[in-house]
């Protein structure tokens, strides 16, 4: 072959070779080896859906590592969005277990009917039939609660005299709101403010990544930030968490939702592990975990591993 | 696709698409505003030095280098990098990282194309003009710039399309524009707003490109006579893309654009 | 108070880099693979189109025009149009990446083949080369430098675009950048950016070297034809 042809062929061959090689890189699959963990249990692979925010990723990792440690094959799948994509993934079978929040999930499945209360057992009882329709089941919720937090800076609070969400409804219609994408549809975000406080901030809403909401609030680009009650920065920065005086927010306890199939196949081996985790989680714990993620920039994987270690739950 | 299409129609038929901060027209305006501003600034920054250097026929290496650097740095990377930098310096989110990134990206094509255009004005024409007693300033204005115009326009065109494209990425750093529904749309089940915005951006980019093509034809009468219209406009853009590797770009294809190091564009 | 959020955070945390070399390495591999697939497939398609355009001249305008339209569509918009149809993932990413290479490759292949001097063609015909044989043994080799130049641009451009494909799930260094943007964490942004630029430059250099390797042959062979 002539030289230039050879050169061309070389380029293309290299390109194809590089393209074909590999496929052995795992991004999120942290299937590590079991060191002295339980023997492997047979059954369908567990795919844990993680939503697009730190806390979800951390919880998913905790579930995954604990299950792997108990001998169940589990991996984390990033759903790439929020609850709507999570349930699409449940439907398509891409995911069969996920950490979620009781009240928010109820409101998602009942199309924002506003049925959730601040009593977790009551709310769960309403949720379960809706899950059963989808061949899903809920396990025991933990005491850790993570609801939305509507936060303003001290200056804004002082300027307008804001202490509660009712105050906001009265004096804050012109303020700008910033928060995660889902806020426009999340029953305890914009629709909730409309429903309970008759406050419509949808026109001035800016979707922002959770990580930058704080900075945006601090810089004054938004007046009201939607954070979560487990966000450690609120206290650190001296922001004002507006009180939910009319009880829009409800029992958003962390709990595992999973397919009935998983429950039936694995029974106690799986549910026992998850119940133990739920037992050990508290709101303060969650806040600590989030702080490591948001402020220290640690990876969800490491945070989860350390937490499981602390609690004496064998992870893998 | 059927779902997304009907979602989009629902979205367009509803209120959300046309009112409030996330109204399509508001996003469109933010997009156009920023792009326009960036191009104007880039032109002001790039054209004078390019004309000056082209006139004295120096700095060819600089032109090549600028374009190569501009080509190697992904637009997304610039936007992303400017984000923590501007936060650190207390700039507001969104506007500044995006604007600076856009200007940085828009400068190379304008600079190099203008430079090449001016530099490659046939020496005979320059000599003749000098012979007629023209002073340098006049020479530039009356001879070099008009002759260089096609390439200057090409540079502006390439930049404009690139700016419109990169402005969409500003959505990732908080600058609300047509890119915003697209980016959030990736994370939602309802792809209506995403589709609407994607179509709008594509249309905008093609419109800008088309507008320049028209300007090109209008401003350069002898092109109309050339006959191979399709070839010329396509080739002009590709020549603008064959970045200054120092090789005589396009000469072999007889495209009619100036041979030489013409500036590179990136698809957005 | 607020400065504490960002000022305390160094721009580049080397400890993070050390801890994440595995992630960085797999990002590199993924980035390279995505680029390679796009350029390889793009070249195949462009070559096919070029051969059609050479044989039936009138098709060049429409083909180049179509590729040109594709090229002008902003990448984010193109993803936006593809995702509802193809979902997130490798296929979507590659379709867009391939689409962006077509214009440059098509143009350069045609330019290269066109650039073969008529004298050379006649000589080849005279020696009995016909059709495919002539194409393979005469035209393409002579067109190689121009084609190589096109491949070079397509490759470097694709490396840049792969940073954006992170948004549809496959992004090599773009994943690092995205992670950093999402977490307000500058280190992965810096790492992802610097490395993607380094990769682009490295590949550019590789092509420059290849071009140099080819040209002495051609210069000796007495034809500046097709150099581009």
Domain range summary for chain B, segments of one domain joined by +: 2-241
Please indicate whether residue C174 or residue B97 has the higher confidence score (pLDDT): C174
Average pLDDT over residues A213-236: 84
Q: In the predicted model, is pLDDT for residue C171 greater than 70?
A: yes
Hey, do A46-145+251-311 and A148-241 end up sharing a CATH topology, with the first three levels equal? Answer: yes
**Chain A residue closest in CA terms to C42:** A12
CB of B20 within 8 Å of any CB in chain A? yes
**Least reliable range by pLDDT among A20-29, A81-90, B226-235:** B226-235
Q: In the predicted model, is pLDDT for residue A130 greater than 50?
A: yes
Are B93 and A207 inside 8 Å of each other by CB?
A: no
State the average pLDDT for chain C.
85
Average pLDDT over residues C135-148: 84
Nearest to B92 among A202, A203, A219 (CB): A219
Backbone angles phi, psi at B79, to 5 degrees: -60, -50
pLDDT per residue over C80-132, tens digit each?
889 888 888 889 999 999 999 999 999 999 998 888 888 888 888 888 877 77
Q: What is the pLDDT of residue B217?
A: 79
Q: Is A148-241 a CATH 3.40.190.120 domain? A: yes
Chain C interface, best mutation among B9, B69, B70, B77, by max C CB count within 10 A: B77
Q: In the predicted model, is pLDDT for residue A152 greater than 90?
A: yes
Q: In the predicted model, is pLDDT for residue B6 greater than 80?
A: yes
Q: What is the pLDDT of residue A17?
A: 66
Q: What is the pLDDT of residue A34?
A: 44
Give the CATH H-level superfamily of domain B2-241. MetI-like (1.10.3720.10)
Please indicate whether residue A259 or residue C130 has the higher confidence score (pLDDT): A259
Percent of chain A past pLDDT 90, that is, above it, reads 41
Please indicate whether residue B117 or residue C184 has the higher confidence score (pLDDT): B117
Q: How confident is the model at residue B221 (pLDDT cuts 50, 70, 90)?
A: low
Q: In the predicted model, is pLDDT for residue A11 greater than 90?
A: no
Q: Hey, which of A21-25, B22-26, B201-205 has the most confident mean pLDDT?
A: B201-205
What is the distance between the terminal CA atoms of chain B, rounded to a whole angstrom?
24
Nearest to B241 among C114, C153, C225 (CB): C153
Average pLDDT over residues A10-17: 68
Are C74 and B205 inside 8 Å of each other by CB?
A: yes
Establish, for the pair of chains A and B, how many residue pairs have beta carbons separated by less than 8 Å.
49
Architecture of the structural domain at C21-221 = Orthogonal Bundle (1.10)
Class of domain A46-145+251-311: alpha beta
pLDDT per residue over B37-89, tens digit each?
999 999 999 999 999 888 888 888 888 888 777 777 788 888 888 877 776 66
Instruction: Name chain C contacts of B179, Cβ cutoff 8 Å.
Output: 76
**Least reliable range by pLDDT among A22-31, B4-13, B54-63, B137-146:** A22-31
Average pLDDT over residues A290-303: 90
Please indicate whether residue B93 or residue B80 has the higher confidence score (pLDDT): B80
pLDDT per residue over A48-83, tens digit each?
999 988 899 999 999 999 999 999 999 999 888 888
Are A294 and C217 inside 8 Å of each other by CB?
A: no
Nearest to C189 among B80, B194, B202 (CB): B80
């Amino acid at each position: 072959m002539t030289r230039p042809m050879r050169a061309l062929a070389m380029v293309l061959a290299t390109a194809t070779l590089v393209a074909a090689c590999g496929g052995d890189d795992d991004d999120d699959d942290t299937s590590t080896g079991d060191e002295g963990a339980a023997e492997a249990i047979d059954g369908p692979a567990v795919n844990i859906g993680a939503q697009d925010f730190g806390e979800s990723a951390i919880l998913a990792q905790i579930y995954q590592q604990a299950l792997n440690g108990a001998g169940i094959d589990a991996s984390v799948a990033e759903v790439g969005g929020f609850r709507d994509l999570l349930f699409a993934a449940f439907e398509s079978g891409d995911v069969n277990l996920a950490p979620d929040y009781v009240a928010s999930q109820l409101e998602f499945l009942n199309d924002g009917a506003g049925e959730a209360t601040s009593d977790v057992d009551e709310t769960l009882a309403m949720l379960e039939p809706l899950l059963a329709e989808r061949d899903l089941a809920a396990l025991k919720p933990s005491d850790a609660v993570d609801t939305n937090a509507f936060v303003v800076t001290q200056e804004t609070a002082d300027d307008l005299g804001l202490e509660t969400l009712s105050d906001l409804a009265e004096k804050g219609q012109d303020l700008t709101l910033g928060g995660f994408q889902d806020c426009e549809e999340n029953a305890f975000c914009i629709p909730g403010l409309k429903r309970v406080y008759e406050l419509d901030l949808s026109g001035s809403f800016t979707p922002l990544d959770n990580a930058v909401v704080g900075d945006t609030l601090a810089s004054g680009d938004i007046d009201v930030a939607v954070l979560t009650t487990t966000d450690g920065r609120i206290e650190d920065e001296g922001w004002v968490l507006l009180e939910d005086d009319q009880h829009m927010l409800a029992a958003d306890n962390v709990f595992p939702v999973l397919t009935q199939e998983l429950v039936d196949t694995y029974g106690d081996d799986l549910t026992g592990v998850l119940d133990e985790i739920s037992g050990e989680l508290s709101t303060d714990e969650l806040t600590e975990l989030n702080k490591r993620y948001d402020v220290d920039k640690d990876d969800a994987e490491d945070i989860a591993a350390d937490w499981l270690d602390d609690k004496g739950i064998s992870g893998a | 696709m059927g779902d997304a299409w009907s979602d989009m129609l629902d979205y367009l038929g509803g209120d959300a698409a046309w009112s409030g901060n996330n109204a399509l027209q508001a996003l469109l305006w933010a997009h156009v505003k920023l792009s326009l501003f960036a191009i104007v600034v880039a032109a002001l920054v790039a054209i004078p030095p390019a004309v000056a250097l082209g006139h004295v026929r120096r700095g060819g290496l600089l032109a090549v280098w600028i374009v190569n650097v501009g080509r190697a740095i992904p637009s997304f990377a610039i936007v992303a990098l400017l984000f923590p930098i501007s936060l650190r310096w207390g700039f507001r989110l969104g506007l500044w990282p995006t604007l600076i990134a856009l200007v940085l990206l828009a400068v190379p094509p304008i600079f190099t194309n203008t430079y090449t255009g001016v530099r490659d004005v046939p020496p005979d024409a320059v000599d003749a003009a000098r012979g007629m007693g023209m002073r340098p300033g006049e020479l530039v204005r009356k001879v070099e710039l008009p002759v260089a115009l096609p390439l200057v326009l090409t540079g502006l065109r390439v930049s404009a399309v690139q700016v419109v494209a990169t402005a969409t990425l500003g959505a990732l750093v908080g600058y609300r524009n047509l890119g915003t529904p697209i980016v959030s749309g990736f994370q939602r089940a309802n792809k209506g707003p995403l589709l609407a915005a994607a179509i709008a951006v594509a249309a905008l980019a093609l419109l800008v490109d088309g507008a320049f093509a028209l300007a090109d034809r209008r401003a350069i009468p002898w092109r109309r006579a050339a006959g191979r219209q399709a070839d010329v406009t396509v080739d002009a853009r590709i020549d603008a893309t064959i970045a200054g590797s120092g090789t005589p770009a396009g000469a072999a294809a007889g495209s009619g654009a100036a041979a030489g190091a013409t500036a590179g564009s990136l698809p957005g | 108070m607020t400065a504490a959020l960002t000022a305390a955070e160094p721009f580049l945390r080397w400890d993070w880099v050390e801890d994440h070399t595995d992630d960085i390495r797999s990002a590199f591999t993924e980035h390279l693979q995505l680029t390679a697939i796009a350029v390889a497939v793009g070249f195949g398609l462009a070559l096919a189109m070029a051969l059609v355009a050479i044989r039936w001249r009138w098709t060049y305008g429409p083909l180049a025009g179509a590729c040109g339209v594709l090229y002008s569509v902003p990448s984010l918009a193109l993803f936006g149009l593809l995702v509802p149809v193809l979902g997130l993932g490798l296929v979507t990413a590659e379709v867009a990446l391939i689409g962006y290479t077509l214009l440059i490759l098509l143009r350069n292949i045609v330019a290269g083949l066109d650039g073969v001097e008529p004298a050379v063609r006649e000589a080849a015909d005279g020696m009995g080369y016909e059709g495919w044989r002539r194409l393979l043994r005469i035209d393409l080799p002579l067109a190689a430098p121009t084609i190589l130049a096109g491949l070079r641009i397509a490759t470097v451009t694709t490396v840049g675009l792969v940073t954006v494909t992170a948004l549809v799930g496959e992004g090599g260094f773009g994943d690092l950048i995205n992670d950093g943007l999402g977490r307000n964490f500058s280190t992965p942004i810096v790492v992802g950016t610097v490395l993607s630029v380094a990769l682009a430059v490295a590949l550019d250099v590789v092509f420059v070297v290849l071009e140099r390797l080819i040209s002495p042959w051609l210069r000796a062979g007495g034809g500046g034809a097709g150099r581009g």
